[in-house]
Chain A
Amino acid sequence: MIFQANPFEQLLAVLAYWDRFLTGFLLTMWMYVWALFLGFLLGLLLALSRQYGHFFIQKIAIIYIEIIRGTPLIAQLFFISFLPNALNFSIDIMIIETNLFNRSFRLLDYPIFVGILTLILNSGAYQAEYLRGSFVSVGTGQLEAARAIGMSRFSSIRHIVLPQALRRVIPSWSNEAAYLPKYTVLVYFIGGVEELFSQADYIQHRTSFPFATYIIVAILFLITITLISKLLDTIHKRTSIPGL
């Protein structure tokens, strides 16, 4: 390098690649949103199975949750991405592509699919535990009272436990909502996914300003996660039960 750029100049140089930051960030958020919401459905299913299911269903849910929580996400990512190869079958994943800032923007292909799927499977296990905690906190008294007026088990869970558990879970669920964007970056290691970190890697090589590059990445995360927390906080307040 011939000249020493000051931090401000470094930031400007890096920000010249704003379109890459933005598409990378959007892809990361795209994967995050799928993982969070489908992970929630999986988590709900697991939590209901673990808390209210029959013996075998309970055991299956417990084993699944423990395996996921007991192994690193990065190992799960590799496991899922190498699995078809190891078992000698291939999966055809549709490629969905669009244009963004005059560059092609991939929403779905094989590595992105692996990334989203793994994140769903992973986040589902954590969300299951948060949800189960909130089922437990609702207590058995109300469930019993519901049964005592003749409500079926299903109806009691659906109309009495769930509405309260879903409210109660919001504070701990926001943990998962705030952690998951940071876990989503691990998809970088599958390779071939143009999410935020692979874009950042490209930018820092082109500019040779890694510090400024990752400062921008950090700021993007900071803003996003702050907004997510604030949003969930508002939802929590809006849905709280009067008097409680």
Chain B
Amino acid sequence: MVEPLLRVSDVSKSYDELQVLKDVSFDLLERDVKVIFGPSGSGKSTLLRCINMLNPPDKGKIFLRGNNITAPKVDLNTIRTRIGMVFQHFNLFAHLKAIDNVSIGLRRVKGLKKQEAYEKAFKALDRVKLTEWADHYPAQLSGGQQQRVGIARALAMEPDLILFDEPTSALDPELIGEVLQVMLDLAKAGTTMLVVTHEMGFARAVASELLFIDKGIIIERGTPEHFSVSPTSDRVKQFLQQLDVLYGSHEKLLDILDEEEKI
């Protein structure tokens, strides 16, 4: 049996009285892409934050390449260099140019020399097609560009996997496509990704499995086909209908992008 890159095992998390995650378990293989979706407040962000130990779980274990990262005395800073994270609101460092946003981790965490860090950062910016914007500050970039810098920042650290927390939900509709395209490219290049998103088009294109989470519990999981053809629980059916009303039009975005690629 192949050892999963990431194993989440019976993870639970509460804030005071409120139990946000209940015995969540799943595996993620190397080069695999999985999508998590579910209603607001269901615990999606909390789950991602447990995985990179920004909010350690109360119960359960998380293994990265077989190592239990929830064990005491694990060096979390080192673990976090191996787990990239892309945020809903980008969270770029406002006082740093794009290139410095991307290279600061290489310099301050990995200890690379400025020159070497810049070269790597430049390659990461190239993967998100932003090399021309390297010298711009976040406030001088569009939302879509900012998010791509956020993705480059995660990529530059050469992590084992990247967590995405609703990377397109804070973007204007016309900017979503460019970010999804970058994510599709990464997926196709074999990046291991765990993506919280409601972009079903993206999920259909690259996800091996979708996890539907509600009130902290994974209540249904399956392939994209499973969810589009025969979801079992009523909660999922109802939620997918709502998504269709809200996001239905975005599906066409990816079709348009596909066609552009052919030309």
Contact = CB atoms under 8 A, between A and B. Distances in A.
Interface of A: 141-142, 144-152, 155, 159-160, 163-164, 167, 241-244
15 contacts: A142-B92, A145-B92, A145-B153, A148-B52, A149-B80, A149-B154, A150-B105, A150-B157, A151-B109, A160-B95, A163-B95, A242-B137, A242-B140, A243-B136, A243-B139
B80 A244 contact: no
Contacts of B81: 149-150
A142 B146 CA distance: 13
Interface stretch (B83-91, B202-210, B248-256): B83-91
Interface range on chain B (Cβ under 8 Å from partner): 20 to 34
B93 A146 contact: yes
Contacts of A164: 94-95
Contacts of A141: 87, 89, 91
A243 to B, nearest CB: 3
B165 to A, nearest CB: 10
B30 to A, nearest CB: 20
A143 to B, nearest CB: 9
A241 B95 contact: yes
Given A141-B91, A242-B137, A159 B109 contact: no
A151 B77 contact: yes
Given A144-B54, A148-B80, A243 B153 contact: no
A160 B54 CA distance: 17
B153 A149 contact: yes
A151 B105 contact: yes
A149 B91 contact: no
Do most interface residues of chain A lie in helix, strand or loop, or is the interface mixed?
helix
A244 B137 CA distance: 9
A134 to B, nearest CB: 13
Nearest to B49: A144
Interface of B: 52, 54, 77-81, 83-85, 87, 89, 91-95, 104-105, 108-109, 136-141, 150, 153-154, 157
B104 to A, nearest CB: 7
A151 B95 CA distance: 17
Contact of B104 (A147, A159, A242): A159
A68 to B, nearest CB: 31
A141 B81 CA distance: 17
> What 6 pairs between A and B have smallest CB-CB spacing?
A243-B139, A150-B81, A149-B105, A243-B140, A145-B91, A141-B91
A144 B163 CA distance: 14
A222 B200 CA distance: 65
Given A145-B92, A150-B78, A150-B157, 8 more contacts: A144-B87, A144-B91, A148-B85, A149-B105, A160-B95, A164-B95, A243-B141, A244-B94
Contacts of B108: 151, 155, 159
Given A142-B91, A155-B108, A160-B93, A147 B139 contact: no
Contacts of A149: 80-81, 84-85, 104-105, 109, 153-154, 157
B93 A145 contact: yes
B140 A147 contact: no
Contacts of B89: 141
Nearest to B102: A149
A78 to B, nearest CB: 43
A125 B108 CA distance: 32
